[in-house]
Structure 1
Amino acid sequence: MTKFSAVRRPLPSSPFKAPVEAPRKHFAVGDRVTHDRYGLGRVIGVEGDGDTAVLVDFGSRQERITPPYSAMFTL
């Protein structure tokens, strides 16, 4: 006997909808940001289209932050 595997698609009216992917964060040079670990800072460099890394000046140190940017937010 073989096991049948089906793709489950939620109905449009279902309260248990499929998880939605979070929108991608984009940062530009000069943006003020806050980071959960490093605090307040300003973006001083963007590598690629922001998909590679972001260089941020936090005052006492500069950090290269790589995606996912789950701990960093714009102000």
Structure 2
Amino acid sequence: MCLLLVKWACRIIRLSFPLCVDCYDYAAHVLWHAHASKLGDRFVIDVRRRLASSAGLVQARFAQHARLSFARVAE
């Protein structure tokens, strides 16, 4: 096998595990991902409300004046 390929394979294996397996909080990890979608939705709603308010618009009319786009990034 090519030395470069071996180097990348080792790096990928190391990246797929926590730095400290014994002290990693797996329960918090699961809970975070269980609630992350709802947290993201609430964030988007709050951003729209604040932008509409700062523009002097009601939230229902904000969509006629601007469109927000977001990209979700995975870890």
TM-score, reference length from structure 2: 0.33
Q: Which structure has the highest strand share of the two?
A: 1
The structure whose Rg is larger is 2
TM-score, structure 1 length as denominator? 0.33
Which structure exhibits the higher relative contact order, with contacts defined as CA atoms closer than 8 Å and separated by 6 or more residues?
Answer: 1
Q: Which of the two has greater helix per residue?
A: 2
